[in-house]
Amino acid sequence: MGDTATAAPNPICLTGPAGLAADLWPHTAKLEADGDISVGGLRLSALAGRYGTPAYILDEADVRARCRAYVAAFAGAEIAYAGKAFLCRAMAQWVEAEGLSLDVCSAGELAVAQAVNFPAATRWFRNAEVTGIPVRPGFFGLEAPPADTPPHLLVFGGSQGARLFNQTMPKIVAALLEAVPGLTILHQCGAKHVEPTQAAFKASGSDPRRWQVSAFLDDMPARFAKAHLVMSRSGASTVAELAAASKPSLLVPFAAAADDHQRRNAEEMAKAGASVMLVESDLATPDKLLAALKELLASPQRLAEMAAAAKTQAHPDAAERIADKLAELAAGSSRSL
């Protein structure tokens, strides 16, 4: 929220809105005895005091003062606080109390410039530039699994898992393990789906020593490093991480994603030769998924070619390019004032 604070703000919104699952918070998040929050051992109020206000750390006096400053600066005009959503009801109340109207809009409606991951996306946005999506450094430069190691399949559907994967994989796991010698599978299912997914895997009759069902996966770069093939959804961050890690993938776009953007991401990765795409309806016939996985896992040469293709879609300088663009826009804005 702008200027660096001189003192740590008072954290007044310590939880998400009603109904927000607690497991959406980082696993290292901790509410300290003094009311502060720490994540990974770092005090959020200390970070706010040094770098500015991070998410969910809000100072009422600061927010209200900034609202009053906008109202004063544009005296006589209607000023709207525009946002995609208000996760903190209190903040909406402060904004309204200080004389700003509230509006809900998308970032695309307000954007001066857009940073996108694929060249094909530029036609959907004005002033778009292909910068890529920032990815943690740990995903870059991962070594491929040694050639003499048995194949390993990583299946994940995001932090909450993918119900479609949880329902389909147990139906094919026995046949897949039989068809691919030495194959092991790590399947991330989401905390809410652990028991039924494990039960379905056990009921398949497959060798339990060759598969593992996990609620949540930490250290994703390490998980990627061990995988010969990744099966996942195709959200923007996921495809950026697959590219950074040079990982071949089988992508199943989430059909209900806004504007079908996951399908477009998967299509671009498939067009580059980095991925194979199946749509959700394909999994209604589990044999289609089985055939696709068998074909990929049985061909180390093809997986190597897909890995090389994935690397061509990586943007290791994404964060720097976006930062440079922001600095350029900020400089242009200051010159125009």
Confidence of residue 279 (pLDDT cuts 50, 70, 90): very high
Residue type, 193: H
**What is the rounded distance in angstroms from the CA atom of residue 245 to the CA atom of residue 76?**
53
Calculate helix-pair angle for 300-311, 236-244, nearest 10 degrees.
110
Query: Which residues are registered as beta bridge partners of 276?
Result: 250
Most confidently predicted of 7-21, 128-142, 210-224:
210-224
Give the separation between CA 91 and CA 227, rounded to whole angstroms: 44
* Residues 6 or more apart in contact with residue 277 via CB below 8 angstroms: 234, 250, 251, 252, 253, 263, 266, 267, 269, 270
Tell me the C-alpha distance between 64 and 79, whole Å: 14
- Enumerate residues 6+ apart whose C-beta is below 8 A from 114: 108, 125, 126, 127, 128, 129
Q: Which of 87-96, 98-107, 301-310 has the highest mean pLDDT?
A: 301-310
Q: Which one is predicted more confidently, 212 or 86?
A: 212
**Per the CATH hierarchy, to which homologous superfamily does domain 137-311 belong?**
Glycogen Phosphorylase B; (3.40.50.2000)
Please report which residue ranges of the chain form alpha helices under DSSP H: 44-51, 60-73, 89-97, 107-110, 163-179, 194-203, 220-226, 236-244, 261-271, 286-297, 300-311, 318-336
Give ranges for CATH 3.40.50.2000 in the chain.
137-311
Whether the predicted pLDDT of 234 surpasses 50? yes
pLDDT at 2: 35
Q: pTM of the prediction? A: 0.68
